[in-house]
Amino acid sequence: MAENPQLFGNGMPVPFYGEMFVLARDGVEFHVDKIPSAPGGHAKTKGTIYLSNIRMVFVASKPVGNFFAFDMPLLYVHGEKFNQPIFHCNNISGFVEPVVPENQNRALYSTHTFKILFKEGGCGTFVPLFLNLVASVRRYNQFEAQSAASMAPRVDPLQAVQTPVDDMMRHAYVDPNDPTKIFLQQPAPESQLRRRNYHGPADNAY
């Protein structure tokens, strides 16, 4: 995970080289723990989820303290589960490991628990695409999220860029009750900025 990743002015995440955005889903509620910049260390807010072949990024409609976005590399996500409670809204819960800078001690960073709640509309498009993409990323990169806590930080999160997603997007089931937007063409960026890694600044793409 990476808190407050770089965004364009319209809220779209600044892409990595080779990154392909699969979908965007508005109107979700997002919960995540162990956030130092959020009041009480827990962020709970509404916003938009962006899903790509590398990561899932939540962008808040309004900041919570200094928290405004959360980046979850798909190779660092584990224990993901689709929940359909009887008296509450459908949701996805799971865990994500931190993206630890090279010169930092892994022991100083904790695993985060997250939840995505679908309070506005269905989720028949989002959920299958998300689960299939996570499974494909793991399979294609020969990564099995066992307990992931010790394994994931050794894996370059950008390794997932190799995962082919075009066919998955073309054959995605579209739920008429799900407001998820599938990107059949990549959204036009506000600039040519591209990122090379999780901890460095973006640079211009040529």
Question: Per-residue pLDDT tens for 100-151?
Answer: 777 777 777 789 999 999 999 899 999 999 999 998 888 877 654 444 445 4
Residue 22 CA: distances (Å) to CA of 43, 62, 64, 186, 187: 25, 24, 26, 8, 10
CA–CA dist 126, 109 (Å, integer): 29
The whole-number average pLDDT for the span 69-95 is 94
* Identity at 129, one-letter amino acid code: L
Structure tokens at 98: 């931190």
CATH of the domain at 130: 2.30.29.30
Alpha helices in the chain (DSSP H): 126-140, 166-170
How many domains is the chain partitioned into structurally? 1
Question: Per-residue pLDDT tens for 20-33?
Answer: 899 999 999 999 99
Structural domain for 150, as ranges: 2-204
